């Protein structure tokens, strides 16, 4: 179904930081997705049990490799546990402030338990493919959850820093072997005073290729994007353009916050990558 909405050009333009960008085909779901932004400041209002159940139902509705559903989610509301988890995840204060912290877990242990109960082998889980499968399933479920919670008026931010110290994180949550926290999601009612907006994304020319990959064409729009993102940053009290941030983030192991040891940690958690 194609709907038209006079507000769409403006929203799509904001998404790309480009007032000239407009959409002719759209839908209520797309309208909703165009408004996404991460929320890092929350009101103390709790997330209700019904809201949590709705969000998990949306997560469960994501596609999943071979219907394995190789993910679990741990809902943490205990302030002291959130504090300990925050300490393990680069001391990001919004983890404590958010009424709900969801930890999304790539879970191959359910399969291991099935195999054990049925006396069957589970040798395929020794391969990187199975760990990737778990991570992919987990990411698809979690992003469905984000779209759902935003539709309920809630906000959230992903927390990749849960992978900084994966074994201590697993210990705090009582995770079984053959499972690992892939990311957290701090969830709550957005604090309206937070200084944040819809962050412009790369232009479609940078991400959308036709038939074959064309690096030259894709990169031609990057200088203009740098300017757009720098303008967004300036408007919200931040600094830097996209290029310098990407290069700093990917410069070396020091920027990985301990995640350079992730492969060994996964191996120790029973998720080897042959």
Ligand X SMILES: Cc1cc2nc3c(=O)[nH]c(=O)nc-3n(C[C@H](O)[C@H](O)[C@H](O)COP(=O)(O)O)c2cc1C
Question: For residues 89 and 170, which CB has a smaller minimum distance to ligand X in the complex?
Answer: 89
Question: For residues 33 and 60, which CB has a smaller minimum distance to ligand X in the complex?
Answer: 33
**Should residue 183 be labelled a site residue for ligand X when binding is judged by CB under 6 A?**
yes
**Should residue 245 be labelled a site residue for ligand X when binding is judged by CB under 6 A?**
no
Separation CA 51–CA 47 (nearest Å) = 6
Q: Is 47 helix (H, G, I), strand (E, B) or coil?
A: coil
Binding segment toward ligand X, per CB under 6 A, in 31-39, 115-123, 210-218, 265-273: 31-39
Q: Would you call 154 exposed, middle or buried from its count of C-beta atoms within 10 A (0-12, 13-18, 19+)?
A: buried
Separation CA 107–CA 68 (nearest Å) = 10
Question: For residues 101 and 183, which CB has a smaller minimum distance to ligand X in the complex?
Answer: 183
Per-residue binding letters, 187-206, with ligand X (x by CB under 6 A):
------------x-------
Q: How far is the CB of 259 from ligand X (least distance, A)?
A: 11
Separation CA 115–CA 98 (nearest Å) = 38
Q: How far is the CB of 106 from ligand X (least distance, A)?
A: 13
Question: For residues 111 and 200, which CB has a smaller minimum distance to ligand X in the complex?
Answer: 200
What is the sign of the dihedral through the CA atoms of 155, 160, 161 and 167?
Answer: positive
Separation CA 17–CA 229 (nearest Å) = 8
Choose which of 38, 64, 65, 151 interacts with ligand X (CB under 6 A): 38
Beta sheet of 155-159, edge-to-edge order? 71-76, 100-107, 179-188, 155-159
Binding segment toward ligand X, per CB under 6 A, in 37-45, 236-244, 246-254, 264-272: 37-45
CA neighbor of 113 nearest in space, from 182, 183, 179: 179
* DSSP H helices in 17-154: 28-34, 49-60, 79-88, 94-97, 109-118, 128-151
Closest CB to ligand X belongs to which residue? 160
- Looking only at residues 114 through 153 of this chain, which bind ligand X when binding is defined by CB under 6 A? none
Choose which of 58, 73, 85, 159 interacts with ligand X (CB under 6 A): 159
Separation CA 271–CA 274 (nearest Å) = 10
Binding segment toward ligand X, per CB under 6 A, in 53-61, 111-119, 158-166, 244-252: 158-166
**Should residue 160 be labelled a site residue for ligand X when binding is judged by CB under 6 A?**
yes
**Should residue 37 be labelled a site residue for ligand X when binding is judged by CB under 6 A?**
yes
**Should residue 16 be labelled a site residue for ligand X when binding is judged by CB under 6 A?**
no
Question: For residues 17 and 111, which CB has a smaller minimum distance to ligand X in the complex?
Answer: 17
**Should residue 158 be labelled a site residue for ligand X when binding is judged by CB under 6 A?**
yes
Given a contact cutoff of 8 angstroms between Cβ atoms, the answer to whether 141 and 63 are in contact is no
Q: How far is the CB of 196 from ligand X (least distance, A)?
A: 7
**Should residue 92 be labelled a site residue for ligand X when binding is judged by CB under 6 A?**
yes
Separation CA 128–CA 107 (nearest Å) = 14
Residues within the interface to ligand X (CB under 6 A): 36-38, 40, 92, 157-161, 183, 199
């Amino acid at each position: 179904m194609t709907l038209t909405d006079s507000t769409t050009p403006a929203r799509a333009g904001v998404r790309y930081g480009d007032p000239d960008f407009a959409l002719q085909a759209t839908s209520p779901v797309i309208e909703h997705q165009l408004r996404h932004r991460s929320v890092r400041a929350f009101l103390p209002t709790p997330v209700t049990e019904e809201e949590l159940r709705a969000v998990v139902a949306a997560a469960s509705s994501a596609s999943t490799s071979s219907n394995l559903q190789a993910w679990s989610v741990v809902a943490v509301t205990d302030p002291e546990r959130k504090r300990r988890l925050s300490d393990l995840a680069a001391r990001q204060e919004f983890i404590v402030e958010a009424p709900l912290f969801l930890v999304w877990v790539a879970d191959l242990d359910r399969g291991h338990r099935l195999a054990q109960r049925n006396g069957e082998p589970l040798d395929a889980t020794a391969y990187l493919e199975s760990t990737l499968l778990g991570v992919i399933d987990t990411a698809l479920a979690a992003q469905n959850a984000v779209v759902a919670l935003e539709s309920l008026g809630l906000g959230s931010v992903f927390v990749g820093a849960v992978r900084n110290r994966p074994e201590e994180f697993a210990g705090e949550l009582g995770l079984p072997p053959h499972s690992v926290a892939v990311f957290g999601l701090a969830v709550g009612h957005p604090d309206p005073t937070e200084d944040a907006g819809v962050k412009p994304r790369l232009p479609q020319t940078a991400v959308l290729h036709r038939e074959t990959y064309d690096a030259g064409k894709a990169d031609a729009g990057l200088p203009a994007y740098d300017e757009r993102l720098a303008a967004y940053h300036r408007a919200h009290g931040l600094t830097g353009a996209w290029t310098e941030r990407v290069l700093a983030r990917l410069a070396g192991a020091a920027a990985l916050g301990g995640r350079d040891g992730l492969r060994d940690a996964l191996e120790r958690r029973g998720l080897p990558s042959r």
